[in-house]
């Protein structure tokens, strides 16, 4: 299982055309491949969790990097808060060991028969090699020794990183350590028949430099783009070398399932949802927060943002949201990674005021307001479609997710919690940044796999397809086996077997303690730098 965070054909096709990433190009072009639809919204936490569980967020319960929302925060997500079994549970239950390496949302490291190295949301330990990031625990020391130290992620600052190649150099150093760690694991623990590896670097790059990579974007032709793009292509070749290592381990008789948790596209503008809801009379602020309605003070705040340290500004932004008067608020923004809107429903939210009998009316009012929202720069509607929660999420955990999911300008307009922004829309067109899109990639390669392109599948299909290719039965999942990507006659000779299994949850048996206050602060600051909080 080869995971490439955020990868899309929009940037792969130009890279392939320039002669880069030959391993990945062959992997996709010589097997079955196509577009992989993400979760709603197309974000890392629900996306990767759906990939490794095979179920939608309404069953696994992960909607963002944090649980809850501004009114009732539930803290950072951890693997032991996932409410569904994972692919490693299904494999281990059938006697198959597995290796798990750098998969986002796998901290604490899963207690697998095999090995695991935790991914994104692992406490980094203030820049030193993390603690408690492997299973078994003693594996951490070996990895740190052979890799020359180890880091889960890099430091990111998208307010500065788009200007130079510095972020690519940091990613390159981090990837080199991960490659050494992987080479050690493949040599010393490579007897596992099933391996799941994720490279998160493409996501970090495209948030910062996407418009320099996609030829459809005007930024692609700017003078400053070419040297940055050339460094990106060389880094993509560094990633390709890691893929070659993995394919060498798998051998000619092995299967490879490639996937991304979401795609990418240009980031053009941001919709400041709380400000919009306030202007529409659906959200109210009280006390000192009412001062924020002054246009002059908001202009002053914008100037302050340029001189006040980022950490101070972000804490002030969080404090501003605490000024929401819940007793007069009917709807409010979900946290940024959830890309949705909550109704302040009585009996569900701690300060809920909307009677359940008025729930649909409030959702209809919000939808109508969004349909009427136009961008003053071109006079065209901002909203493409408003999804109700039950249209895209279902299951016992669904009630904890947002009530509405607006899709704005094909995801080129990101949703933000912004309440004291100067306008409902904030313009990012001058910057080369990218934002998540529904359309990722997938591929299946191996002996007998047909040469087929243009297929379509969902992130929910990755786990069942992988388990089937591994010769295992499937637990009950939301996804399907991508039969059109399998060798001819395989299913006829070995029918897909789906059965009820008594499996532990994804994080059962993990041994790490809950995040400390310092760890939560460090991870939240990292997520803010990524633009996720």
End-to-end CA distance of the chain: 29
pLDDT at 316: 52
Q: Is residue 143 a contact partner of residue 151, using CB atoms and an 8 Å limit?
A: no
Classify 296 as helix, strand or coil. helix
Give the rounded percent of residues in the chain with a pLDDT score beyond 90: 86
| Average pLDDT rounded to a whole number, residues 62-89 | 96
**Which of 3-7, 159-163, 269-273, 409-413 is predicted with the least confidence, judged by mean pLDDT?**
159-163
pLDDT at 294: 44
The answer on pLDDT for 200 being more than 70 is yes
Cis peptide before 136 (omega within 30 of 0): yes
pLDDT at 129: 81
Kindly state the tokens that stand for 102.
Answer: 């750098």
Average pLDDT over the chain, rounded to an integer? 93
The answer on pLDDT for 329 being more than 70 is yes
Q: Is residue 442 a contact partner of residue 457, using CB atoms and an 8 Å limit?
A: yes
Produce one character per residue of 222-247: b if its CB has 16 or more CB atoms within 10 Å, e if not: eeebeebbebbbebbbbbbebbeebb
| Average pLDDT rounded to a whole number, residues 87-94 | 98
Cα–Cα distance between 40 and 2 in angstroms, integer? 22
| Average pLDDT rounded to a whole number, residues 146-155 | 93
Cα–Cα distance between 254 and 83 in angstroms, integer? 31
Cα–Cα distance between 62 and 401 in angstroms, integer? 8
Q: Where are the beta strands (DSSP E) in 297-382?
A: 331-333, 341-343
* Torsion of the alpha carbons at 402, 403, 406 and 411, rounded to the nearest 10: 30
DSSP per residue over 219-242, as a string? GGGSTTHHHHHHHHHHHHHHHHHH
What is the set of domains in the chain, with CATH numbers? 2-66+83-265+436-529 (3.40.720.10), 269-430 (no CATH)
| Average pLDDT rounded to a whole number, residues 301-305 | 48
Give the rounded percent of residues in the chain with a pLDDT score beyond 70: 92
pLDDT, tens only, 448-470:
999 999 999 999 999 999 999 99
Q: Is residue 348 a contact partner of residue 399, using CB atoms and an 8 Å limit?
A: yes
Give the residue from 438, 349, 469 showing the smallest Cα distance to 402. Answer: 349
Strand partners, 98: 114, 194
pLDDT at 127: 59
Q: Tell the burial category of 433 from Cβ atoms under 10 Å away from its Cβ (0-12, 13-18, 19+).
A: buried
For the chain, count helices (H), then strands (E).
17, 20
Whole-angstrom CA distances from 174 to 65, 78, 150, 168 are: 22, 23, 8, 10
pLDDT at 304: 47
pLDDT at 511: 75
Classify 432 as helix, strand or coil. coil
Instruction: Name the band, by pLDDT with cuts 50, 70 and 90, for residue 149.
Output: very high
The answer on pLDDT for 121 being more than 50 is yes
Instruction: Name the band, by pLDDT with cuts 50, 70 and 90, for residue 315.
Output: low
**Which of 165-179, 301-315, 458-472 is predicted with the least confidence, judged by mean pLDDT?**
301-315
The answer on pLDDT for 514 being more than 90 is no
pTM of the model: 0.94
The answer on pLDDT for 290 being more than 60 is no
φ/ψ of 127, rounded to 5, equals: 100, -15
pLDDT at 515: 84
Cα–Cα distance between 6 and 470 in angstroms, integer? 25
């Amino acid at each position: 299982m080869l995971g490439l965070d955020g990868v899309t054909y929009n940037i792969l096709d130009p890279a392939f055309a320039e002669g880069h990433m030959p391993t990945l190009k062959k992997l996709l072009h010589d097997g079955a491949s196509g577009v992989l639809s993400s979760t709603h919204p197309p974000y890392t936490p629900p996306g990767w969790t759906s990939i490794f569980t095979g179920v939608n967020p309404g069953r696994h319960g992960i909607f963002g990097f944090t649980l809850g929302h501004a009114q009732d925060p539930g803290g950072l997500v951890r693997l032991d808060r996932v409410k569904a079994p994972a692919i490693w549970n299904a494999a281990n239950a059938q006697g198959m060991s597995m290796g798990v390496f750098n998969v986002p949302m796998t901290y604490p490291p899963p207690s697998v028969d095999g090995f695991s190295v935790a991914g994104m949301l692992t406490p980094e330990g203030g820049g030193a090699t993390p603690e408690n990031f492997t299973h078994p625990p003693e594996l951490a020391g070996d990895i740190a020794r052979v890799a020359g130290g180890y880091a889960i992620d890099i430091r990111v600052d998208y307010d500065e990183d788009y200007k130079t190649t510095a972020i690519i150099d940091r990613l390159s150093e981090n990837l080199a350590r991960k490659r050494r760690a992987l080479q050690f694991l493949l040599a010393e623990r490579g007897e596992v028949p099933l391996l799941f590896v994720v490279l998160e670097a493409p996501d970090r790059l495209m948030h910062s430099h996407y418009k320099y990579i996609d030829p459809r974007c005007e930024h692609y032709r700017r003078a400053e783009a070419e040297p940055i793009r050339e460094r990106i292509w060389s880094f993509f070749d560094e990633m390709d070398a890691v893929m070659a290592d993995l394919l060498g381990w798998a051998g000619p008789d092995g299967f490879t399932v490639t996937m991304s948790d979401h795609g990418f596209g240009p980031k053009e503008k941001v919709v400041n949802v709380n400000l919009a809801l306030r202007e529409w009379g659906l959200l109210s602020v009280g006390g000192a927060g009412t001062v924020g309605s002054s246009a002059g003070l908001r202009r002053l705040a914008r100037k302050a943002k340029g001189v006040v340290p980022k950490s101070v500004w972000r804490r002030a932004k969080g404090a501003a949201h605490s000024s929401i008067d819940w007793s007069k608020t009917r709807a409010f923004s979900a946290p940024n990674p959830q890309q949705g809107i909550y109704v302040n429903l009585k009996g569900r939210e701690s300060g809920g005021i909307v009677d359940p009998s008025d729930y649909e009316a409030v959702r209809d009012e919000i939808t109508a307001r969004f349909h009427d929202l136009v961008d003053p720069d071109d006079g065209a509607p901002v909203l493409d479609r408003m999804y109700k929660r039950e249209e895209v999420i279902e299951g016992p955990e669904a009630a904890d997710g947002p009530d509405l999911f607006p899709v704005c300008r094909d995801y080129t307009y990101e949703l933000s919690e912004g309440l004291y922004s100067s306008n409902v829309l904030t313009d990012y067109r001058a910057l080369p940044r990218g934002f998540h899109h529904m359309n990722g990639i997938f591929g299946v390669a191996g002996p007998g796999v047909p040469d087929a392109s243009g297929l379509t599948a969902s992130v929910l299909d990755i786990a069942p397809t992988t388990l089937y290719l591994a010769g295992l039965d499937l637990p009950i999942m939301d996804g399907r086996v991508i039969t059109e990507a399998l060798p001819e006659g395989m299913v006829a000779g070995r029918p897909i077997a789906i059965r009820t299994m008594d499996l532990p949850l994804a994080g059962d048996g993990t041994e790490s303690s809950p995040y400390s206050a310092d760890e939560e602060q460090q991870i939240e600051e990292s997520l803010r730098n990524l633009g996720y909080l």
